[in-house]
Structure 1
Amino acid sequence: MKNKNYDVLVVGGGHAGVEAALASARMGKKTALINLYEDKIAAMPCNPSIGGPAKGIVVREIDALGGEMAKAADATALQTKLLNSSRGPGVWALRVQSDKIEYSKYMQRKVKEQKNLELVASAVQKLLFNDLKEVYGVGLEDGAELHAKAVILTTGTYLKSEILKGVERFESGPNQERTTTGISQSLKELGLKLLRFKTGTPARVYQDSVDLSHAIKEPGSDAPLAFSFSTTKFTPLAEQQLCYLIHTTTETKKIIEDNLQKSAMYSGTVESIGPRYCPSFEDKIVRFKNKETHQIFIEPESLSDDVWYIQGFSTSMPIEVQEQMLKSLPGFENMRVKSWAYAIEYDCLDPMQLKPSLELKAAKNLFTAGQINGTSGYEEAAGQGLLAGINAVRKINNEPPLILRRDEAYLGVLVDDLINKGVWEPYRLLTSRAEHRLLLRNDNAELRLKEYGYQIGLINEQEWIEYKQYIREMENAVEELKAIRFTPKSELAANLKAKGQANLTHGYSGLEIIKIPTVDINELVPYVKTLQNLKVNQLQSITIEIRFEGYVKKERQQVEKLVKLERKQIPEDIDYNKVENLATEARQKLVRVRPLNIGQASRITGVNPADIQMLLFYLKSAYANAK
């Protein structure tokens, strides 16, 4: 390939890379997506699913900002499910079982059809940068150089990666694909700190080789559910694929205990840190030694590939032990394996070296997103990729970066956690990480983020008009609910009493009825005209905003106080050694992170309220005009 010039280079065509490249190109920049393979775009080397607790809300946020993951997930879903629906709305989450082959094909089509975007099938051997540590391009394996104003690394688990099975270790990317070593060396030459993490994946077995007649069926949800605001076609329950639930046996546990030292995890082969929330099965046996059996979910990977994904059965055991483990599962006595489980180690960056824009502090024009930042999960990767793509373009345009607050998005929580707290194991988003869960809901991603997507240029005019109509429809419905009245003798009152949802002893407005916790808003739909054409998310939003009005109001008042801290800027040239009475740890952390404002400083691990007070005193005296 000849030397070429671009505005933005994206290295790696996984979930982060696809979102970064599409965002950059859609925002008008000449972009190249460099991937090891032309036909492996947004692959799913592990669990073929999108969404789940916290993650499902991230997918909705990606869609609201103008990303592609939600549309791809809806278009290629084998099963759709709303999780935690029996609990509070702050933890409701959508999850789909994806057709992994069709999902990758969908994203490949989007990349190839996108204006301003070129797909380059090659390996990057090095980063190009000058003495000022300004990155200006990459060097490819054939010796060609690609130059750009910004480079985004989204290398996933392919960075100096090695596969582990028992005591066996060999250089490879996922599924025995290629890996790359030169980028790690370039990052070290830039003076950046690298970490070594691990993840893994279970075996895949042929569907016709196992008997699931005694397994527990796990169907999808019979409702018009979708991730994307734009999705209008929903897969009916009758056409959705079944997943299954089984349990391991006492024999499975004994096999692990008898062969523990053969595992890469416990033989000394593994040098890195694995994910806490998705551990290898042998790690479960060690951690929970008193537990005799464990849940295993059996899930389809694709309609065109008759194999089961064995969720919860990841392992780094040698193949002969894996075979015993699999045959110990109920219904798996005659199983045939398509691919064996393995663990994979890879390089990643300490994310505390990042700015909130996902640009490296020590390497100008270099952005990173996804597992290279120490995270795990397709959704976390895609969200970071979208933000990195947006902010790379905004830097080129001399515009301020898009930085989402913790009360605005789970993506804001994700980035804020990475840059202020760092990682010591692969980071996974959880609802418990968000202190404003009632504001960051599955139903209201559009209300929180759509305007950002429109202003940035990733939400087109037609979708923006449809969104404004979406808001008007909800506002009109709330007004009608306030105005309409139902007596104890009304048909609605009789229906609610018959179903045990409510006993209307006097006249109620529609709004007052919805405030009753046991009432389903769908019961009012036949009697309230403005409710009849609303989407599931709109009905959910109306219910939650009405029913939790006091809690939501209180939460927003607390957020206003926190936003004031975000507005107190910290000058870039501040010398923390001149701030008196700072604790040593706080001084070291502030120097390392260099927060943009007091709000960010207050969230850094090791910086206490007393340290913040000392910093505020110093800013007031040394920077009289500081905001």
Structure 2
Amino acid sequence: MLKEIKKVDIVVIGAGHAGVEAALASARMGCKTILLNLYKDRIAAMPCNPSIGGPAKGVVVREIDAIGGEMGKAADATSLQMKLLNSSRGPGVWALRAQSDKVKYSKYMQNKVENQENLELVVGIAKDLILKDSKIVGVLLMDGRVIECNSAVLTTGTYLSSILHRGSETEKSGPDGEITTNYLSDTLRKKGIKLLRFKTGTPPRVRADSIDFSKATMEPGTDANLAFSFSTKTYTPVKNQIPCHLIYTTKETKSIIEDNLKKSAMYGGTIDGIGPRYCPSFEDKVVRFSSKEQHQIFLEPESLSMDTIYVQGFSTSMPIDIQDKMLRSLPGFENVIVDKWAYAIEYDCIDPTQLKLSLELKGIDNLFLAGQINGTSGYEEAAGQGLIAGINAVRKIQNKEPFIPKRSESYIGLMIDDLVNKGVVEPYRLLTSRSEYRLTLRNDNAEFRLKKYGRDIGLIKDQEWNEFLKFEKEINEGIELLKSIRFTPKMEIAVELNNLGQSNITQGISAYQLLKQPTVDSKIVFKYIPQLNNLSHNQLQYIVINIRFEGYIKKELETIQRFEKSESKIIPADIVYNDVENLATEARQLFEKIRPTSVGQASRITGINPADIQMLLFYLRKKYAQKTTI
């Protein structure tokens, strides 16, 4: 018997990092939204590593903020430590990373959800999706309640039919022993949706007061004014940040793994799911890199309110007695006390080639999917998808075109493009190496790439937009000033740079041209231009990068223009691929499965070769000459 029927515009199922972004975006765009979660207080939880950001991922968080999401603000407000990774390398791989207070982060997001207009948090388990004519119209809960909706976003993370593994012991459970559900997996299968079985894992958590940190190397944060969000104006000095520590595994650690490998769920045949290549279990590292005698382990604090350390890099599915031996073989861990043992977790996800680029499921209208259910890993990847799914769920019921960020203008767009066109054979993780345009998709320029979209969508409000316009105007004026200022060989700056061996100025040179020289310390140049004192560190950094890499950036932008030309070659929705002459059978099947919307997208489908694209172009020019830009 039905207990209650609620009617809303959008239901978001799951309040992890994807679900929170989807629900907040939907509500902020004016739609009455319900966020359905298994618990009231497990909002944007961190069941794995207590951090936000890292290579590529940090840029994603900046992109989320630029479009109008919440993750960047939450990470800034609850960080224990901030660092800029890869700063000794080129700006295309710079990455901001925050060591997060996992308790404060979740409470921050819970507060945002509970105080957001148009948004209601409902505790319950989704049992079934209610469809009418292959369109979602509601969600049935386990207790009989029904939520009617116009669109829904499914963000179930690792909670679908999940099983925890420690050696031969298994437990039907979600992360950290929480609730799991088989119902939605069954529902999706019945609707003809192809599911995959993936695996991930997490390391032990140990008591900080049981570790001898004198045997570890301290890894402090930085005093630089670093933040994910454009709105952040205050920064924590490094003396008030909480350090991490670095240790290395020992020969004994390796021997314990080698002697007990078959006891691992990973190698003992217990686990069927496919694990993440770029975040393997420790036993997998020992097997795959057998010549290495030691591996890095980072000791990361989880929260100011918890005396626990996350043993980063020590994920395992070994039984508890072997885990205990492994831990005690580490430097400083001789008397370690374990707060939570490591485990591996298997779960269901979908084959993401069944999605549209809007993240709407092809088989069910108005149902959008985001996060680990799409075969990805990581909080940041999930949040980026959640934001896009939430936006497009709203735009679908408003009869507006979906917002589809391009792979040439964001890592979020690149990720979605990869998922839909290439699919996944293991949990997908964003890497800078996945991008063809790393110098354009930088950590420092997310606002310039994406903020206009957030403004048009309605997630960037007047104050932030006006602040950004001022920020941009000051940068442009600064660049023009640098072009106008000239230095001569007898000026004080020329003498200083020559004495330092950074530059030998023999004739008049503009400040702009001087900054192009990679040996010149930009801080010295700016010291002699007091007119730039009002600019922030971020503004000056942006100016220097764009001046020094001007030629490379110009070439990359030309490549992007060619890419976008192929993206503008639209494939009509009514195309019949069986009618395309001389098309390989495999290509015909792949095109029919993916249903690409442009020639550019068609060319990126795994298994498609140039000859297939040529046949497609011939057909489009002949059949749709009046309808397309082919």
The corresponding residue for 2:365 is 364
Aligned AA (1:501): Q
Give the alignment of 1:51-450 within 5 angstroms.
51-130=53-132, 132-450=133-451
The corresponding residue for 1:35 is 37
| Alpha-carbon offset, residue 127 of structure 1 | 1.0
Aligned AA (1:149): N
What percentage of aligned pairs have identical amino acids? Answer: 64
- Contact kept, 8 Å, 1:444 with 1:537, in 2: the verdict is no
CA distance in 2, matches of 1:415, 1:536: 32
Aligned AA (2:382): A
Deviations 1:353-391 (A, max 9, x none): 000000000111110000000000000000000000000
The corresponding residue for 1:620 is 621
CA distance in 1, matches of 2:344, 2:151: 33
Aligned AA (1:197): F
CA distance in 2, matches of 1:480, 1:7: 51
| Alpha-carbon offset, residue 159 of structure 1 | 0.9
CA distance in 2, matches of 1:457, 1:534: 28
The corresponding residue for 1:610 is 611
Deviations 1:507-541 (A, max 9, x none): 22110111010223222223223432223332222
CA distance in 2, matches of 1:530, 1:136: 59
The corresponding residue for 1:3 is 5
Aligned AA (1:82): L
Deviations 1:578-618 (A, max 9, x none): 11111222111111100001110011111111111111110
| Structure 2 gap segments, 5+ residues each | none
Mean Cα displacement is larger for which, 356-365 or 564-573?
A: 564-573
Mean Cα displacement is larger for which, 323-332 or 177-186?
A: 177-186
Aligned AA (2:483): K
| SS in structure 2 of the partner of residue 443 of structure 1 | helix
CA distance in 2, matches of 1:10, 1:497: 62
CA distance in 2, matches of 1:491, 1:233: 35
TM-score by length of 1: 0.99
- Contact kept, 8 Å, 1:247 with 1:330, in 2: the verdict is yes
| Alpha-carbon offset, residue 489 of structure 1 | 2.8
CA distance in 1, matches of 2:502, 2:530: 21
| SS in structure 2 of the partner of residue 345 of structure 1 | strand
| Alpha-carbon offset, residue 545 of structure 1 | 1.2
- Contact kept, 8 Å, 1:20 with 1:388, in 2: the verdict is yes
| Alpha-carbon offset, residue 557 of structure 1 | 1.2
| SS in structure 2 of the partner of residue 297 of structure 1 | strand
| SS in structure 2 of the partner of residue 524 of structure 1 | helix
TM-score by length of 2: 0.98
| SS in structure 1 of the partner of residue 404 of structure 2 | coil
CA distance in 1, matches of 2:517, 2:144: 69
| Alpha-carbon offset, residue 328 of structure 1 | 0.2
Q: 1:500 to 1:82 in 2, by over 3 A?
A: farther
Runs of 4+ aligned structure 1 residues displaced above 3 Å come to 497-500
| SS in structure 1 of the partner of residue 43 of structure 2 | coil
The yes-or-no answer on 1:559 pairing with 2:560 is: yes
Deviations 1:256-295 (A, max 9, x none): 1111111000111001100000000000011011111111
Aligned AA (1:63): D
| Structure 1 gap segments, 5+ residues each | none
Q: 1:530 to 1:592 in 2, by over 3 A?
A: farther
The corresponding residue for 2:19 is 17
| Alpha-carbon offset, residue 129 of structure 1 | 1.0
Aligned AA (2:385): Q
Aligned AA (1:604): I
Aligned AA (1:186): T
CA distance in 1, matches of 2:18, 2:334: 39
- Contact kept, 8 Å, 1:23 with 1:67, in 2: the verdict is yes
| Alpha-carbon offset, residue 568 of structure 1 | 1.0
Task: Report how many aligned residue pairs link the two structures.
Answer: 626
The yes-or-no answer on 1:517 pairing with 2:507 is: no
| Alpha-carbon offset, residue 102 of structure 1 | 0.4
| SS in structure 2 of the partner of residue 317 of structure 1 | coil
- Contact kept, 8 Å, 1:49 with 1:96, in 2: the verdict is yes
CA distance in 2, matches of 1:625, 1:160: 50
Deviations 1:464-499 (A, max 9, x none): 111100110000100110011122232322333344
- Contact kept, 8 Å, 1:480 with 1:528, in 2: the verdict is no
The corresponding residue for 1:497 is 498
CA distance in 1, matches of 2:289, 2:531: 52
| SS in structure 2 of the partner of residue 544 of structure 1 | helix
| SS in structure 1 of the partner of residue 600 of structure 2 | helix
How large is the Cα RMSD of the aligned pairs?
1.0
Aligned AA (1:369): A
Aligned AA (2:198): F
The corresponding residue for 1:536 is 537
